[in-house]
């Protein structure tokens, strides 16, 4: 790995927010592609944090400070990932489902979709089925993008699809789902329109459904 990408990886693991931002900027200044900075330096670091948590070496506070460093780095990376001033090709209401506070993956999906000319309505985390329905009914969303990182919150994706059906809106909107525990089979089971395992494939999926 490039030394600067290794430094980004290490700074996220150690939760050094300022170092992460500085090193992300340094990598961009060196001409390293934003996608490589993201996938090699940053996403791998969060996977390692997850592994350390599973093995009992990291606890919630370590996970949290690593996540903050990741978010800091992403805010530096965002302008390079997103090209502005283009006519939107669809409106996406994105959120992490009710009960779930993980938002790094959802934020990345939003950034990549924005970079691919979708208009984003970011509903944040802990989003209820009713809030997703409202985004379709009153805010003109053509897509719903739901993220879940906990096996205990995944059923709220199904609850949202059911709430859309109950409101008579299911046919007006495409439903995308994702997040580490979510699978293609689960997406089919709950009647979503598609699943993608990462943010770049989320873009390809959304475009294929336009």
The site for ligand B12 (CB under 6 A) is made up of: 43, 46-47, 49-50, 53-54, 60, 63-64, 67, 99-106, 108-109, 145-147, 149-152, 176-181, 196, 198-199, 202
Residue 122 C-beta: closest distance to ligand B12, Å: 12
Inter-residue contact 88 to 119 (CB < 8 Å): yes
Q: Tell me whether residue 55 or residue 85 sits nearer to ligand B12 (CB atom).
A: 55
Residue 178 C-beta: closest distance to ligand B12, Å: 2
Q: Tell me whether residue 85 or residue 156 sits nearer to ligand B12 (CB atom).
A: 156
Residue 145 C-beta: closest distance to ligand B12, Å: 4
Q: Tell me whether residue 32 or residue 66 sits nearer to ligand B12 (CB atom).
A: 66
Separation CA 43–CA 46 (nearest Å): 5
Q: Tell me whether residue 71 or residue 167 sits nearer to ligand B12 (CB atom).
A: 71
Q: Tell me whether residue 31 or residue 123 sits nearer to ligand B12 (CB atom).
A: 123
* Nearest of 148, 208, 135 to residue 177 by alpha carbon: 148
Residue 46 C-beta: closest distance to ligand B12, Å: 4
Inter-residue contact 58 to 46 (CB < 8 Å): no
Separation CA 108–CA 106 (nearest Å): 5
At 144, list the tokens.
């719903």
Residue 180 C-beta: closest distance to ligand B12, Å: 4
Residue 150 C-beta: closest distance to ligand B12, Å: 4
Q: 108-145: buried (b, 16+ CB within 10 Å) or exposed (e) per residue?
A: bbbbbbbbbbbbbbbbebbbbbebbbebbbeeebbbbb
Whole-angstrom CA distances from 160 to 96, 152, 190 are 12, 15, 10
Separation CA 176–CA 142 (nearest Å): 11
Chain centre to alpha carbon of residue 7: 23
Q: Tell me whether residue 29 or residue 52 sits nearer to ligand B12 (CB atom).
A: 52
């Amino acid at each position: 790995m490039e030394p600067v990408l290794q430094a980004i990886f290490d700074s996220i693991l150690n939760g050094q927010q300022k170092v992460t931002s500085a090193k992300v900027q340094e990598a961009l200044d060196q001409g390293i592609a934003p996608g490589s900075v993201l996938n090699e330096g940053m996403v791998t670091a969060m996977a390692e944090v997850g592994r350390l948590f599973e093995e009992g070496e990291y606890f919630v506070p370590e996970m949290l400070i690593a996540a903050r460093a990741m978010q800091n780095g992403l805010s530096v990376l965002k302008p390079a990932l997103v090209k502005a001033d283009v006519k939107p090709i669809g409106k996406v209401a994105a959120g992490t489902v009710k009960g779930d506070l993980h938002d790094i993956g959802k934020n990345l999906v939003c950034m990549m979709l924005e970079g691919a000319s979708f208009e984003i309505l970011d509903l944040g985390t802990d989003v209820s089925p009713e809030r997703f329905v409202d985004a379709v009914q009153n805010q003109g969303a053509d897509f719903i993008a739901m993220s879940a990182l906990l096996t205990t919150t995944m059923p709220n994706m199904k609850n949202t699809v059911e709430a859309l059906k109950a409101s008579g809106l299911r046919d007006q909107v495409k439903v995308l789902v994702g997040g580490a525990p979510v699978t293609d089979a689960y997406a089919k089971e709950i009647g979503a329109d598609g699943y993608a395992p990462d943010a770049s494939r989320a873009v390809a999926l959304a475009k294929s459904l336009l």
